[in-house]
Structure 1
Amino acid sequence: MSVVTLPEGEWIRGISIRQPYAACILAGAKTVENRPVRWRTGWVLLHTSKTIDQGALRTPLIGRTIRGRQLVTGAVVGIARITDCHQDPEGAPPCSEWAPPGAWHLVVEDVQELSLPVPARGQVVPWKPSLDLLDRVFHQLPDFRP
């Protein structure tokens, strides 16, 4: 198996997302991640925070989406590409049923789930992954091309 040669520089960041929201993104249902501040577009490692939003588990939309999925915490579980970051205009309908008013909406595309979660520490802000972490993640995605 050949492992992809990755570009150098800061082409990818990590984004930490609480469960069950990360599982909803991996399932392909949640295509918008919400943040209080603007984010740049580009590739991100999808990292799950160590905590689970227990209240969210009682939301029907989330319950239907994550049924049968394991809620892994404290690990990189996939990669994705943020293709847009916007706020909905005041008074306009939300861009997604997952997009609350007032938040910055990160449009998430090209989601690829890892077969095996890679344990890692994340941060609240966009974070730079170590080369070792990138190696362990992309070893599982040999056909990935940024």
Structure 2
Amino acid sequence: MTAGTHYGLGPAGETQHKDTLAACTHPDCADAATAERDGTVRALTVKQPYAFAIAEGFKPIENRTRRTNHRGKIYLHASKAPRKGVSIVRYSRDAARRLDELGGSGNFWNAVDAVPSRFYTPHSTLACSAVIATARITGCHRAGDGCLPACEAWGEPDAWHWEISDARPLATAVPAKGFLGLWRPPVSLVQAVREQLGEPR
């Protein structure tokens, strides 16, 4: 994948966009490009290990109780407290293997209060209470209505499935407080993420 290339799903999930976001002619991408130029990036807080699975590109569906009309770039924020008892292998063997490579779910607790913690600095996608990746929301549908193949593994019944693509983990997690729903990151957080990605501030 070349720098600036995006791979969002097409209108019905049947095709992929293979151009830079700014050059793509799909209406959702044009709207997303405008939003990015206007600085309207949003952040989404997700519990670990689901945040890890999104950041590493294994989980393209996020389950929510409400729909979203937002399309475009988001900062993926891992919440302070991980969800206990989640067996990631139930969703994806590849995700479980990657989790094992990085140290496993036990390491989530080492970063609950700060990143890095006093005793241990986890891999960026295992961090808690921090922005761990950027991604894009490319669509949204209700369970059972326009579901994608990925919904079979990751989608929940009676939920809105937010379609997420283009996950790009940060080299170093950026500590931040999370909020419910899509939230507007403060300028200092935007600057810290852009600095890591080599984007103009």
TM range (shorter): 0.7 to 0.9
Q: Per residue, is there more strand in 1 or in 2?
A: 1
Contact 1:43–1:81 (CA under 8 A) maintained in structure 2: yes
Contact 2:135–2:168 (CA under 8 A) maintained in structure 1: yes
Within 5 Å, which residues of 2 pair with 1:23-102? 23-39=52-68, 40-57=70-87, 59-60=89-90, 61=92, 63-69=96-102, 70=123, 71-89=126-144, 95-102=151-158
Contact 2:49–2:88 (CA under 8 A) maintained in structure 1: no
- Structure 2: tracts of 5 or more residues without a match: 1-35, 103-122
Give aligned pairs, total: 137
The answer as to 2:43 corresponding to 1:14 is yes
Alpha-carbon distance in 2 for matches of 1:52, 1:142: 30
Contact 1:24–1:65 (CA under 8 A) maintained in structure 2: no
Question: Which structure 1 residue ranges, 4+ long, deviate > 4 Å from structure 2?
Answer: none
The answer as to 2:150 corresponding to 1:120 is no
The Cα of 1:45 is off from its aligned counterpart by 0.4
Query: TM-score, length-normalised on structure 1?
Result: 0.83
Which whole-Å deviations, capped at 9, do the CAs of 1:12-52 have from their partners, x for residues lacking one?
A: 11100000001111221111111111122221100000011
Alpha-carbon distance in 2 for matches of 1:32, 1:104: 9
The Cα of 1:126 is off from its aligned counterpart by 1.0
Task: Report the counterpart of residue 111 of structure 1 in structure 2.
Answer: 167
Alpha-carbon distance in 2 for matches of 1:79, 1:93: 22
Which whole-Å deviations, capped at 9, do the CAs of 1:84-116 have from their partners, x for residues lacking one?
A: 0111337x7873410011111111111111000
Alpha-carbon distance in 2 for matches of 1:102, 1:63: 26
Query: TM-score, length-normalised on structure 2?
Result: 0.61
Percent sequence identity over matched residues?
Answer: 35
Alpha-carbon distance in 2 for matches of 1:114, 1:89: 33
- CA distance 1:127–1:68, shift in 2 (3 Å): same
CA RMSD of aligned residues (A): 2.2
Which deviates more, 92-101 or 69-78?
92-101
Contact 2:56–2:168 (CA under 8 A) maintained in structure 1: no
Task: Report the counterpart of residue 6 of structure 2 in structure 1.
Answer: none
| 1:84 partner letter | G
Contact 2:55–2:134 (CA under 8 A) maintained in structure 1: no
- Structure 1: tracts of 5 or more residues without a match: 1-5
**Secondary structure of 1:66's match?**
helix
